[in-house]
Structure 1
Amino acid sequence: MSKQGILFVLTGPSGVGKGTVLAEVCKQKELYLSTSATTREPRPGEQDGVQYYFLTREQFEQKVAENGFLEHAEFSGNCYGTPAEPVDAQLDAGHDVMLEIEVQGAMQVHQMRPDAVRIFIAPPSFAELERRLTGRGTEDADAVRRRLETAKHELTLAKEFDYIVVNNTVEQATADVLAILRAENCRAAQVEIK
C-alpha cells in the first residue's frame, strides 16, 4: 500500500504574506496546490482548470448540495470553493496537498477533514500588518480598514490551529513551514518501514 498524502491548510489575515511564503516553500518542496472553483466570470487570459474552475451558480450549488467542496463561501456576489475530488485524488496518489485559503475556509476544512494540518501565518505585530496593508497601495483607506477589522478577529482564532508561524521575514517563515511539512511526514502513521 502506498503512502497517503497529507492535507495542509495555510491561512492567515490578508496582507500577512501567505502567498509569498507559499511560493518560496514550493521552490523547495513538491506540493499539489489546489485550484478553487468560482462562479465569477473568467478574466482575460484565465483558463478553466488553471486559475480557477469556472462554474455557473447552478453547478456550484449542485456541488455544495453533494458535499463536493472542502470549503466554500460567497464574496462580493460570487461563490468560491475548494473542490474535494481533485484534492482527494492527489492525496490517494501519495502527494501532499496545500490549500491556501482564508481563515473562514480553513475552519470549514477542519470540520470536514479534522486530520488536515492547519498552519496559521501571523504578522509579527498588528502594527506591522497595518503597515504592510497600507504599504501595498492597492486599496483605498476604507478597504484597508475593513481588512484590518477582519484581521483582528482572525488573529483571535490563531490558537485554534495546529501551528502558528510568525512572518518576521519570508526566509524564516518559509523555513518554519518547511520544518512543519518535514515533521508531519515523519509521523509514525506516515512512515512505511520495509
Structure 2
Amino acid sequence: MERRNMDQGARRGLGIILSSPSGAGKSTMARRLMAWDPTLSFSVSATTRPPREGEVEGQHYYFTDREAFGQMVLDGEMLEHAEVFGNHYGSPRAPVEAALAEGRDVIFDIDWQGGQQIRNSALGRDVVSIFILPPSIAELERRLRGRGQDSDAVIDGRMAKSQAEISHWAEYDYVLVNDDADACEMRLRTILAAERLRRDRQPWLTGFTRALNTEFSERDAG
C-alpha cells in the first residue's frame, strides 16, 4: 500500500506562555525546555531597565530607552507590553510572527498582563498558557533572596506583588506547582507534546482523512 503523507512537522508554530510570580521558576523552566528541545526559540523581550551583570543584548533582552520603547508601542510593534517595578517590558511582534509562520514554537517568559494581552490578540489561537506556582510563600521568598540580585527593598516589592500575580492563576490553560524542578519540567514536556498533537494544530490530517475516504470509495467501487 502506498504510504500516505503524514508530515506532522507541517504545522503552524505554537506560542508557549510561561508566567509565575517572580522567583517561582518560569525562567528556569524556559531554559530547561529549550535545553530539552533545541528547536524551541525564545521570545526575547525589549526592556527599559539597565542590563544586569552577564546579560547580553539580543540574547537576554533588547535594552532600549523609554522614548524608543514608547514609539514601538505606538507603531504596533509590540505583541504585549507592561510596566513592572518602574521599568517597561514588551514582546516585539515581528520575530514571533515569523517563527510561528515557519512552524517554530516560541516560549514567552512573561507576567500575567503580557499573557492576557497575547491571548486576546490575533495570535490567541496559536498559544497555550501555563502558570507556575511556588510550593509556599516562604519558599518563594527564600528563592528570591538566594539569587542575590536584588536589594531588600526590591525583594519586598516583589513579594508584595506576588499575591496579585497568583490571583490570576485561573486564567491559564495549565497550572503547575514547582515543588521539584525535575518533576515540573517533565510536566511541561508532557503539556507541550500534547498541545503539538491537538487536532487543530495538525493541518496534514485533512488531506490524510480525505485520502482514507477515497480508499473507501475505491473499495466500494471495486
Alignment TM-score, normalising by the size of structure 2:
0.77
What residue identity is the alignment partner of 1:10? L
Partner of 1:6: 14
Which residue is equivalent to 1:52?
61
Cα distance, 1:27–1:47 mapped onto 2, change above 3 Å: closer
Q: Could you tell me which amino acid in structure 1 is paired with residue 160 of structure 2?
A: E
Q: Give the paired residue count.
A: 194
**Residues of 1 paired with 2:190 and 2:165: CA distance?**
24
Q: Distance in 2 between matches of 1:71 and 1:132?
A: 27
Alignment partner, residue 90 of structure 1: 99
Counterpart pick for 1:132 among 106, 122, 143: 143
Deviations 1:106-158 (A, max 9, x none): 22222224322111011112232123223334333332222111111111110
Q: Is the 8 A contact 1:69 1:82 kept in 2?
A: yes
Structure 1 counterpart of 2:25: 17
Partner of 2:3: none
Q: Deviations over 1:42-94 (max 9, x none)?
A: 67876543333344433322221122111112345543210011000000000
Given that residues 13 and 104 in structure 2 are in contact (C-alpha distance below 8 angstroms), is that contact kept between their aligned partners in structure 1? yes
Change (3 A) 1:96 1:159: same
**Mapping of residues 68-147 of structure 1, within 5 Å:** 68-75=77-84, 77-112=86-121, 113-115=123-125, 116-147=127-158
CA RMSD of aligned residues (A): 2.3
Which residue of 2 is the match for residue 188 of structure 1? 199
Provide closer, same or farther for how the CA distance between residues 77 and 177 of structure 1 changes in structure 2, counting only shifts above 3 A: same
Q: Is the 8 A contact 1:34 1:87 kept in 2?
A: yes
Aligned partners of 2:34 and 2:41 also within 8 Å:
no
Taking the aligned partners of 1:176 and 1:151, their CA distance within structure 2 comes to 23
Q: Which letter does structure 1 place at the counterpart of 2:184? A: A
Kindly indicate whether the alpha-carbon contact (under 8 Å) linking 2:131 and 2:176 is maintained by their aligned counterparts in 1: yes
Q: Does 1:157 align with 2:161?
A: no
Q: 2:72 aligns with which of 63, 66, 69?
A: 63
- Tell me the CA shift for residue 23 of structure 1: 1.5
| Aligned residue identity for 1:155 | I
Tell me if structure 2 keeps the 8 A contact 1:22–1:174: no
Between stretches 15-24 and 53-62, larger displacement belongs to 53-62
